[in-house]
Amino acid sequence: MHVIQRYFVRHMRNMVYVMSGLIISAILIQYLPIPFMRDRTLIASIFYLLSGILGLIPIFIKALVSLQLRVISIELLVSVAIVGALIIGEFSEAGIVAWLFLIGQIIEESTLTKTRSAVKDLIDLSPQTALRVTSPTAHDAEEVTIDAIKSGDYLLVKTGSQVPVDGVIVSGDGNLNEASITGESTARRKSAQDCDAVFAGSFLTDGMIVVRTTQVGDDTVFGRIIEVIEQAEDSKTAVQRFIDRFARYYTPVVILVSFATGVLTSDVRLAITILVLGCPGALVIGVPVSNVAGIGLGAKCGILVKGARMFHELSKVDVMVLDKTGTLTNGIPAVARVRECTIPATSSPYPELDINYVWRLAASLEQESTHPLATAVVTYVQRRMPAISFTQPKHFRVTAGQGVSAICDQHTVVIGNRRLLQAHAITVTPSDKIMADKWMHAGLSVVFIAIDGRPCIMIGIGDTIRRHANAALRQLRRQGIGRLIMLSGDSQTVVNEISSKLDLDEAHGDLLPQDKANFIRTIQGSNQKIAFVGDGINDGPALAVADLGIAMGDGTATTIEISDIVLLNSDITKLPIAHALAKATVINTYENIGIALITILILIIGLFTGFIYMASGMLVHEASILVVVINALRLSHRKLDTRQHRR
Amino acid sequence: MKRAILQVSGMTCPSCLDTIRTAVARQHGVQDVEVLFNAGKVKANFDERATNARSLANTVEKMGYVVERTTTKEN
């Protein structure tokens, strides 16, 4: 029997073509006025009969296999219906039902594949082979399958190919597109010099590198992301669990009703029609198919959702609580304020220095230092003057906790805080002092640039607001989030400074991780749904307590574990996109439930008013499945415009 | 204990999922089975002294589904 079944599984398509031919011929013979042909009805019946029997074989075998496992399958219902129809001589009904059922399965399989394509496209990104070399400098590349690669192996990656494993660059450099990991499509420069890490699934757009393998296959960041998505797709919402339970009882009940009808009315035709209508197809498939489309679309743009339930939660969120550092702000110091120093009234005439020249001297010194504040200054100058060339400073000196000094281009350059200026006997005007105090109060570190004993520029350095953060908050408000709250471990003055530039309802500072969790518990008391958005590293308690934990971060195991949704690449603009996607997915789910319920209603009404029989019932049934799948496809083809938030 | 992951095609309705899960779980030596409908994956932990991944794949094939790929991992 298994041999027959395997044969039918392999040749399903061809068989359905043959059946289609039989059915069409039968209809033509029956209804077209073909001359010189007698017994047209008989010939048509034979064609229908052949189609019915041909279709019955695979359906019946599948039904039997399930029955052996005590599972009442749809195939069993259809088999009984076909056999019944054959017995009472309704050959056309039997033939058409078998044909519709099988053709329905083929169409469903191919459309379902389309709804799952987002995730499949991702999986297809992982290469199946790799070029292994014996050492970072060897040229003995050998192509091996991915399963044969172990941690510690050296792999060669050429331009235009994919990184097959997680690892560290040990030789060469190149631009890597990490869209599959972070959703960010701009390539990043990575090199052996910086011991940069590379990830499986990323794409080397130019250059050539040798990678030392650290993780392979399912253990890579990419592998874990795929696993989370696969599990998420099959996770169930409360609605779906209800439907599944309903479906489990629905089928046996339909059999009983059909049997009872057959016995009581002796109308076999009506009894088997009820059997055909007893497949709750659209209802069972409708919800999962919407969820798959939504989760897949999210994965495509760097929004990792751990389950369909998370979408339902997110769509109902009333209050969004956001962490400050690393979420609304960049989490790394950057130049926030710049001001030219005032000239003291008592000062002697002084040669005016070009401001760009001052910046060039400053950057030349700061370049020598690895301090985060120095890096912030260099980054700022490079952005201001992209074509800058540095001058080599002489007598370079670092004073810990104060700043740097050197001779550069025959000028004495001092860059640092007021203590360093005092040590060099440089005075700052009272108005600059007041300004510096003000900046420090707002949480900024103040750095002076002094040339030849005269303060020229003062810089305020601190954590800066992420680009588009405010636009993202506004978008969330437009999408119906009622309250937006910022929490931070920083002092209240720093928090006030940042929140004054953002569209927030509340902002609270001086909070320990545990305090943030308690804060969320307090609002939860007021029966509102709360999402917490944090960086996933030190916000563990708050992420866990909130109804929904959203982490800004990467695909590392810890981030995924403690949160419900991960916004890869720490992109704040993905927050409103995730919220919009959640709403769209939930609406799509309810649309599909609606379509399924309407179908059942049509079938029941059709049955009792007598205009639906076996074949037409099967047609409505299969069509409804197709409609819900296509509706879900509409969702997965939705354009999530990431740019609309960047206006 | 080992873990077998089968990539299966032909699962079109969630009821296929029940059938496959029941059939694989009945196999001697199989501990727990997880069937991912959308990913088309069957994941099962089994005792390698009682059965192997190939016989699990056969079980699934017997029920009328195509097993595209089988991988086994140490648990």
DSSP codes joined into one string, A107-135? HHHHHHHHHTHHHHHHHHTS-SEEEEESS
Q: Hey, is the C-beta of B61 within 8 angstroms of any chain A C-beta?
A: yes
- In A132-191, the residues whose Cβ lies within 8 Å of chain B are 147
Contact yes or no for A65 and B14 at CB 8 A: no
Distance CA A531, CA A523 (A): 11
Q: Hey, is the C-beta of B50 within 8 angstroms of any chain A C-beta?
A: no
| Per-residue CA distances from A177 to A163, A205, A556 (Å) | 10, 7, 18
Query: What is residue A76's predicted lDDT score, i.e. its pLDDT?
Result: 85
Number of residues in chain B: 75
| Short-list A637, A526, A503, CA closest to A576 | A503
Distance CA A138, CA A124 (A): 29
Would you list the domain boundaries of chain B? 2-74
- Quickly state the pLDDT bin for A645 (edges 50, 70, 90): very low
Helix (H) or strand (E) holding B3: strand B2-9
Which SS3 state, helix, strand or coil, does residue A411 take?
strand
Query: What is residue A507's predicted lDDT score, i.e. its pLDDT?
Result: 93
Which SS3 state, helix, strand or coil, does residue A165 take?
coil
Chain A contact set for B22 (CB, 8 A): 69-71
Contact yes or no for B64 and A70 at CB 8 A: no
What tokens were used for B25? 């779980």
Provide the CATH number for the domain formed by B2-74 in this structure: 3.30.70.100
For residue A114, count CB atoms less than 10 angstroms from its CB and return exposed for 0-12, middle for 13-18, buried for 19 or more.
middle
Distance CA B45, CA A365 (A): 61
Which range, of A17-31, A215-229, A577-591, averages the lowest pLDDT?
A215-229
> Do strands A319-323 and A530-534 pair parallel, antiparallel, or not at all (unpaired)?
parallel
Instruction: Kindly report the nearest CA distance between residue B41 and chain A, in angstroms.
Output: 9
pLDDT surpasses 90 at A586: yes
| Per-residue CA distances from A485 to A142, A505, A506, B47 (Å) | 56, 6, 5, 52
Question: Which letter does DSSP use for residue A218 in this model?
Answer: G
| Short-list B45, B20, B43, B15, CA closest to B30 | B45
Which SS3 state, helix, strand or coil, does residue B65 take?
coil
Interface test with A, best of B15, B30, B74 (most A CBs within 10 A): B15
pLDDT surpasses 90 at A590: yes
Instruction: Kindly report the nearest CA distance between residue B58 and chain A, in angstroms.
Output: 10
Closest chain B residue to A105, measured at CA: B12
CA A191 to chain centre: 28
- Quickly state the pLDDT bin for A53 (edges 50, 70, 90): very high
Chain B contact set for A112 (CB, 8 A): 12
Interface test with B, best of A4, A6, A9 (most B CBs within 10 A): A9
Q: Hey, is the C-beta of B14 within 8 angstroms of any chain A C-beta?
A: yes
* Phi-psi sector, A391: left (phi>0), alpha (psi -120 to 50), beta: beta
> What's chain A's average pLDDT?
84
Q: Tell me, what's the ipTM?
A: 0.78
Q: Hey, is the C-beta of A359 within 8 angstroms of any chain B C-beta?
A: no
Which SS3 state, helix, strand or coil, does residue A175 take?
strand
- Quickly state the pLDDT bin for A643 (edges 50, 70, 90): very low
| Short-list A265, A275, A268, CA closest to A88 | A268
Chain B contact set for A285 (CB, 8 A): 13-14
Contact yes or no for A73 and B19 at CB 8 A: yes
Cα angle A185, A188, A191; round to 5: 150
- Residue range A521-538, pLDDT digits in tens: 988 887 889 999 987 666
